[in-house]
Structure 1
Amino acid sequence: MGADRGIHVEVDEKTILEPLSVAKLFSAIAKKENPNLIIMGKQAIDDDAGQTGQMLAGLLDLPQANFVSKVDIGEDKLLATCEIDGGLETVECSLPAVITTDLRLNEPRYASLPNIMKAKKKPIDKYKPSDLGVEITKRLETLKVAEPAARKSGVKVESVDELIEKLRNEAKVL
């Protein structure tokens, strides 16, 4: 929504795109387009890898902010609130930059029928990987997929003293 044009990179439908190949395709396009900000999702739905944005930033030698849930863009920098394991972290990056977004970054707008009809008229540039100088190479191989071992159930303790005793005598971690 709101785009003036689109870019479509066509690959054979049997081609398996790995995160590095996708990052190389985006890198080639970014070098042509020279954007000030590249916004990507944090992870793909097919492999759940969560690597393409970080690889793209590395290939372009740009600063990055990952898992962004809020962003404020200034004239030559951005301030991003990133979700981390312990809560939130605020990161400041110079522009141009790459950000990977969390689903809480924005509230999606739903396209109206007139806007859908307008979007059909927007130009879409089509490329093949070879047009961008990118060779799609399979580098990853899945060797095995297995469920993790079942864990023992936890135990509730009544006091700190009991917890320390169990950690020393049973778990042998203290």
Structure 2
Amino acid sequence: ETDAELQPLAVAKLLKALVDKEQPGLIILGKQAIDDDANQTGQMLAALADLPQATFASKVEIAGDKVNVTREVDGGLETLSLTLPAVVTTDLRLNEPRYVTLPNIMKAKKKQLDTARPEDLGVDVAPRLKTLKVAEPAKRGAGIKVPDIATLVDKLKNEAKVI
């Protein structure tokens, strides 16, 4: 990760500033970033904005001033009911992607796109973490076959010192 990339906390602070400005009823985020696979921006945003959250949503239904979120857990499915506004992070099963048609691309080109810099939102995105070193783990050595259990136990006890 380079110093120019935003850390998850900086992204969450930017999103919080946008939430304060726009006052959305529902904020939907992906569950994790492709660069660090950290799964933390949605949770940080919910904490900073003091909003209820549901993670790994596979189904989302709006019901008045509530949102019902279904998510997969080890034992099956769990459904949570949150008061809006809320933050929801998605699972890949939430939606089937749809492909944009040419007429919609042309319409989108004509729409106004507002841009804002972090400074405009009062957010400092200066990096606070710096990667000092990245190294691959040592290559794993080849295994050996042992003739019997007694030899295995002896090697585990005297050579590997794990028992």
TM-score normalised according to structure 2 size: 0.77
Moved more, 80-89 or 95-104: 80-89
Query: For residues 14 and 114 of structure 1, do their structure 2 counterparts lie closer, same or farther at Cα, with a shift above 3 Å needed?
Result: farther
| 1:106 is the counterpart of 2:87 | no
User: Cα gap change, 1:20/1:14 in structure 2, threshold over 3 Å: closer, same or farther?
Assistant: closer
Judged with a 3 Å threshold, the aligned counterparts in structure 2 of structure 1 residues 90 and 149 are, in CA distance, closer, same or farther, namely: farther
Cα deviation 1:111-150 (Å, max 9, x = unaligned): 1111101011111111110000000132334465554997
Confirm or deny that 1:45 pairs with 2:18: no
Ranges in structure 1 where 5+ consecutive residues have no aligned partner: 1-12, 151-174
Q: Helix, strand or coil: the match of 1:79? A: strand
CA–CA distance in structure 1, aligned partners of residues 135 and 86 of structure 2: 35
One of 46, 62, 80 as aligned partner of 1:73: 62
Structure possessing the higher radius of gyration over alpha carbons: 2
Residue 159 of structure 1 is matched in structure 2 by none
The change in CA–CA distance for 1:114 and 1:29 in structure 2 (over 3 A counts) is same
What is the distance in 2 between the residues matched to 1:145 and 1:76?
50
Q: Which has the higher contact order (CA 8 A, sep 6+)?
A: 1
| Structure 1: 4+ residue segments shifted above 6 A | none
Residue correspondence of structure 1 range 5-16 to structure 2 within 5 A:
15-16=4-5
% same residue: 62
Matched, 1:121 2:110: yes
Q: Aligned-pair distance for 1:92?
A: 1.0
TM-score (norm 1): 0.73
Give the 3 Å change call, closer, same or farther, for CA 113–149 of structure 1 in structure 2: same
Distance in 2 of aligned mates of 1:106 and 1:65: 16
Distance 2:65 2:97 in 1: 26
Other-structure match for 1:134: 123
RMSD: 2.3
Aligned residues: 139
**CA deviation string 1:6-61 (max 9, x = no partner):** xxxxxxx9621010000000000110100000000000111111100000000000
